[in-house]
Amino acid sequence: MDVRLIGMMPEPEKLPALAAKLTHSKTAPKDLEDSSPEELRAILTHVLNLGHTSVIEHTCFTFVISDVSRSLTHQLVRHRIASYAQQSQRYVNLHEPCYVVPPTINRNESLKKAYEKTMQTIWNEYNKLIEMEIPAEDARYVLPNATCTNIIVTMNARSLLNFFELRCCLHAQWEIRMLANKMLNLVKKKASILFKDAGPSCKTKGYCPEQKKDCKWYPK
C-alpha cells in the first residue's frame, strides 16, 4: 500500500477559518483576507470545539493510493461525499500478477504458499483468456478481490473526519483501516487544527456507537 497526498490548498486551514469568520462578522469580504493568522487559528479552533464542521468543507485533500485491493476500493467508494478516479480493469491489461496478501495468511508459511499458487493459477487463466481475444473487461471476471488497483480520491475535510471516524475504528476491516490511518497521518501534519480530534469516536468522544464492550479500545 502506497498513499500519497498529491493535492491540497497551500494553506489548508485558511479557507475554513475565513468561512467561519464571515458567518459571524460584518467584515467586508474584500478585507477578510487581511485577517491575521493568529486570529484565523483562534476562530477555527473555536468553531470546531463547538462541533460546527460545515466550514471545513471549504478545503479538500487529494490522495493517490496504490497497491491496495479491489476489496478495499469497493468499500472506499461507498463514501459518497468524495470524488474518485480508479484504474479501469476494462481498459488496462493486468498481465502481471499483482495482489494483496492479508496478514493472517502472510504469517503462515504454508497458507501463504497455497495462496500464491492460487494467484498464479488465476493469472494464468486471465492471460490465457486475453490471448484467446477475450476482452480485458471480461477476462477480469477471474481476477480476485486481492488484485492491486490504483485510485485517486478527493475529499473535503468534513467528509474526511467522517471517514476517519468510521474507518480508523478497530472494527473496520484491516486494509481500509490501514489506509485511513495513513491518510490521517498525512493530513494531520499539514492541518493540525482540522484533524486534531480526528479518529474513531471512542478516542475522540469517549463513546462507542456500536456498543462493542469487548473491544480493547472501549471507553472505560
Q: Which residues from 73-92 bind a second copy, rule CB under 8 A?
A: 73-74, 77-78, 80-81, 83-92
Q: Is residue 167 annotated as part of the catalytic site, yes or no?
A: yes
Binding characters for a second copy, 89-118, by CB under 8 A (x = yes):
xxxxx-----xxxx-xx--x--x--xx--x
Among 34-42, 138-146, 182-190, 192-200, the segment contacting a second copy (CB under 8 A): 138-146
Residue 122 CA, chain-centre distance (Å), reads 28
Assess contact for 3 and 183: CB atoms under 8 A.
yes
Among 34-42, 62-70, 182-190, 191-199, the segment contacting a second copy (CB under 8 A): 62-70
Q: Is 130 in the site for a second copy (CB under 8 A)?
A: no
Shortest separation between residue 150's beta carbon and a second copy, angstroms: 5
Residues 145-204 that bind a second copy (CB under 8 A): 145-147, 150-152, 154, 156, 173-174
- Could you count the other beta carbons within 10 Å of the beta carbon of residue 6? 11
In the block, residue with C-alpha cell 471507553? 219
Among 34-42, 69-77, 185-193, the segment contacting a second copy (CB under 8 A): 69-77
Distances (CA, A) of 191 to 61, 123, 124, 145, 198: 10, 42, 46, 34, 11
Q: Which helix (H) or strand (E) holds 5?
A: strand 2-8
- Could you count the other beta carbons within 10 Å of the beta carbon of residue 167? 22
Q: Is 134 in the site for a second copy (CB under 8 A)?
A: yes
Q: How far apart are CA 56 and CA 130, in angstroms?
A: 47
| Residues tagged active-site | 167
